[in-house]
Structure 1
Amino acid sequence: MRNNRRAAELLRIWREDYIGQTLMSAAVSLGITALFALYHGYLGFCYGSVWHGSIGFFYLLLMVIRGTVLLTEKRNQTRLETEQILCRHRTFLISSVLLLVMDIALIWPIFMMVVLDKPVFMGPIPSIAMAAYTTWKITIASIHMRRQRQRANGNILVAELRTVNFIDALVAILTLQNTLIMVNQTTTDGNTMLPVSAASSAMIYIVIVFITVRMLRKGLRQTGILTCGKQT
């Protein structure tokens, strides 16, 4: 009976509370990200794969950012509103530094994908499944990037979580692109896909950096740091 009530409460939060929905989905994403970090870290360590090691480091940073935000929001349940705002601002500044490091850490795995130096161990059917999952992921992330502007209620960490989800989805597109090229490439193709891969990867990375900087500017303005700088 207690489990039924708990399930009903979680379902109500998912339907009616946007912030609660964001935190619940972030908790699920945190678990998945931890598995990805362990998986790629294991392959990088056991097989000496630089790509797996570097992308594993990206997922590790992603996991830390999500975990820090979720921990702050959990502890905020017992704090006064003024304390909640201060803690959110502090967590935002810390996680923003990690987000910048995460963007920089993406440079090397993206470079390896551009030059088609990423190891691929899957056939056409898993690649199609991966494409379907990536399409769903980027669609949901795009929808919530728009929704959070009206429904985040000024919660700076909710906006950050949605931005991080969108970056995660863009990285999934980069990985999918490289996988499909490698799976369908023949020995006669040579490096004909290199210019296309380089151009699309550069565009996606520029988008990642752009939305990161935009989020940082908006967040710093909301915390009052940029405003104070202008007043002085």
Structure 2
Amino acid sequence: MVAALMLLARSVRAVVSPETVTFEVEQNTVLSVGSSITGLVAALVLQMSLVSLLVLRLVGRLERLSRHDPLTALLNRRAMDELLAQEEQRVRRMAGRDDNATAAQMAVLMIDIDHFKRVNDLQGHVAGDRALQHLATVMAAQLREIDHLARWGGEEFLALLPATRADEAEALAERLCERVRSLPLARDDSRLMLTVSVGVSAWLGPHDDLAALLTRADRALYTAKHDGRDCVRVAPSTPALAAVRQA
């Protein structure tokens, strides 16, 4: 019986796709079942394998739901908080190495949809949801593979840019603004023009921390809003100026 089960285990292959789980048996496999008990055990092994795979799929799906915003499919704030903490640890480890100064850098973009309340009030919440989904797709397409984009809250997004200097982050933010501006949301026989304001903040060195980094990005975003929206503003890149702005 043990030999039969071992042969069964070697010959059965589970093929998992996003929609189905299929068991395939090798064509030349011959399994001789000597008793009804052996056959029952073999059937139970298959059933347990199927249940295990289904549980793994369910756990993976629940994990994804816990880390992603259901409307935009972007990372949620919880997941971004974890990535920010990991990135902070990485830049601190790299800070003492002189071989690659850029690797010890990181930046964030605080992004806010301009006049989003007006969209909800005049066009309805369905249009507001479509606008969020549209902008999430457009902005994600402008980022690099190493970057991360999250829905930070409401109509606000946060992009984490590892190994990125302030000037590089500013250039990326400018491209992002231009792309959003050039791709309105199509709605039946009309187009909804959308723009975003962006605050850029870069890591200032070993004395810096995540709270200060995000505060500077938020204040730079406020400046962009105050300066007319649909623009990018960069937080001070020197510790002294940053301290003055945060005071």
| TM-score calculated relative to the size of structure 1 | 0.25
The structure with the largest alpha-carbon Rg is 2
Structure holding more strand per residue: 2
Q: Name the structure, 1 or 2, with higher relative contact order (CA <8 Å, separation 6+).
A: 1
Structure holding more helix per residue: 1
| TM-score calculated relative to the size of structure 2 | 0.24
